[in-house]
Amino acid sequence: MAEASVTQPGTARQLWAKLDKVWLIVVVVPLVIALYDTQQAGETVTFAVGAMAHTAPFIAFAVFAVAFLKATGAETLVARAFEGPEWRMIVVAALVGGLSPFCSCEVIPFIAAMLALGAPLSAVMAFWLSSPLMDPAMFAITAGTLGFEFALAKAAAAVGMGLLGGAGVWAFSRTRVFADPLRAKSGGCGSCCGVQQPFQGAPVWRFWGEAERRETFSDTGRENALFLLKWLALAYVLESLMLAYVPAEWIATVLGGDGAQPILLGALVGAPAYLNGYAAVPLVDALMAQGMTPGAAMSFMVAGGASSIPAAVAVWALVKPRIFAGYIGFAMFGAVLAGFGWAMLA
């Protein structure tokens, strides 16, 4: 009996550690709501299922696109961004960062290798700032929910953010601020995506001829599908509750109206409130439905994407605090500029 009493708590802890907390929240929240508002619980489930069905084609395209890029080894083309004159590196790194399927964790070893090999910090910063803001999957999800124009503007903001950070570092590259960027011992980000390491060499577009690449395609597709379904399910549940319980007048007062205040607040709120680039899309959709201005929505998404916990921890793990401070500063300033730009165009 004593042995059973010892092993059972240990088993419970193991089960709790293995349990996906996001799926747990998705299931538990409607059940809790049902205790005091049965009608809203049913409406929340219906809303989430309907929204997921509407987004399904974009999810399917996003999953296929990322799996294809991984299986072919197209990520190896990213290394070409760090060749040639420094100004060219900055431009290409910003462009590639806004299109590559790297997550914040996967980019760590690549960036560490580039810095160790002598790649200029300006180009690395350009890639680092633009990479978490947009990728093929995020573009598809954003376009499906917020519209193609918003997705295109966010992609442009990602590239612009990279150019801003790269040019800023380049301008002060001869000062001590951006000298000797790497930590003595760089750790991981503590949250790996679990996908396989990128292939080496030239891409193989007809990937289905190699068993390893076919396995990469299936593994990456499955992992990304589960990732997107999980976070979007949570986001749609939260969106439904936000529409039901958060007063539209409050949102309109804080993040609505003209002027600079909504855009500045959007950037400031976006950093700590951000879940990830996928889950943020439905939440921003709900906020805009309740009065959030387009400019504030853009600054919220751009600031949150660059300073989200995975992206920020990835940068902190690799570089010294002053470089990290520069990263956050460029991210916030770029987000505000993106917000003002979109406010004038929307």
Q: How far apart are CA 223 and CA 229, in angstroms?
A: 10
pLDDT tens digits, one per residue of 165-176: 999 999 888 788
Whether the per-residue pLDDT at 69 is higher than 70: the answer is yes
Residue 177 DSSP class: T
Whether the per-residue pLDDT at 235 is higher than 90: the answer is no
Side chain identity at residue 288, one-letter code: M
Helix (H) or strand (E) holding 158: helix 148-171
Whether the per-residue pLDDT at 79 is higher than 90: the answer is no
Taking the complete model, does pTM exceed 0.85, yes or no?
no
Q: How far apart are CA 258 and CA 83, in angstroms?
A: 44
Q: Which residues pair with 319 in a beta bridge?
A: 182
Confidence category of residue 199, pLDDT binned at 50, 70, 90: low
Spatial CA neighbour of 172 closest among 329, 326, 338: 326
Q: How far apart are CA 255 and CA 299, in angstroms?
A: 11
Cα 231 to Cα 6, 22, 71, 181, 318, distances in angstroms: 35, 7, 24, 34, 27
pLDDT tens digits, one per residue of 309-334: 666 766 777 788 888 889 889 999 99
pLDDT tens digits, one per residue of 10-55: 677 777 877 888 899 999 999 999 998 999 999 999 988 998 888 8
Whether the per-residue pLDDT at 289 is higher than 70: the answer is yes
Of 125-134, 186-195, 225-234, the one with minimum mean pLDDT is: 186-195
pLDDT tens digits, one per residue of 82-100: 778 889 989 988 988 887 7
